[in-house]
Amino acid sequence: MSQLSQESGVRLDKWLWAARFYKTRAIARTMIEGGKVHYNGVRGKPSKTVEVGAEIRLRQGNDERTVTILMVSAQRQGATQAQALYCETPESIAKREKIALARKMNALTMPHPERRPDKKERRTLLRFKQTNLQESD
């Protein structure tokens, strides 16, 4: 573990990959360039050198996380070692749990048919959708 904390000069995209936030460095780079990753409140660049104590805000799918860097590593290791590289803020955890609960509640209110529509029902749905589209134009 001492090797991890003594490393310096690790790029942001490489650290995100090593911390297992993204599956490949290419995906990490794309997310950073797309503005999905903020380093200390500023939109990050893939070549930015990370430092211990820095705050990173990133999006993973529908979830947004805010983490603080505890250790720096350029090597991708197991999930347990990767989780030791960062600490998620309590506000971020609470926000993610709240959003997950809201998502579950929305899923409960959505109607789920017991079976797929047959040919006649599909045609009826298609006619209904087409008439609604024509009326809105």
Is 133 inside any structural domain?
Answer: no
Q: Is the pLDDT of residue 1 over 70?
A: no
Cα 32 to chain centroid distance, Å, stands at 12
How does pLDDT run across 13-56, given as a tens digit for each residue? 999 999 999 999 999 999 999 999 999 999 999 999 999 999 99
| CB-CB contact of 86 with 19 (8 Å) | yes
Is 72 inside any structural domain?
Answer: yes
The pTM for the full model equals 0.74
How does pLDDT run across 73-83, given as a tens digit for each residue? 999 999 999 99
Is 7 inside any structural domain?
Answer: yes
Continuous segment of H or E residues that includes residue 30: helix 25-33
Is 8 inside any structural domain?
Answer: yes
User: CATH number of the domain that 69 lies in?
Assistant: 3.10.290.10
Is 45 inside any structural domain?
Answer: yes
Is 103 inside any structural domain?
Answer: yes
N- to C-terminal Cα separation, the chain: 64
The total of structural domains in the chain comes to 1
Q: Where are the beta strands (DSSP E) in the chain?
A: 37-39, 42-43, 55-60, 63-69, 86-88
Confidence band for 2, pLDDT divided at 50, 70 and 90: very low
pLDDT for res 136: 65
Is 117 inside any structural domain?
Answer: no
Q: Where in the sequence is the domain holding 56, given as residue range(s)?
A: 2-112
Is 127 inside any structural domain?
Answer: no
Residue 128 corresponds to which tokens in the numbers above? 């209904």
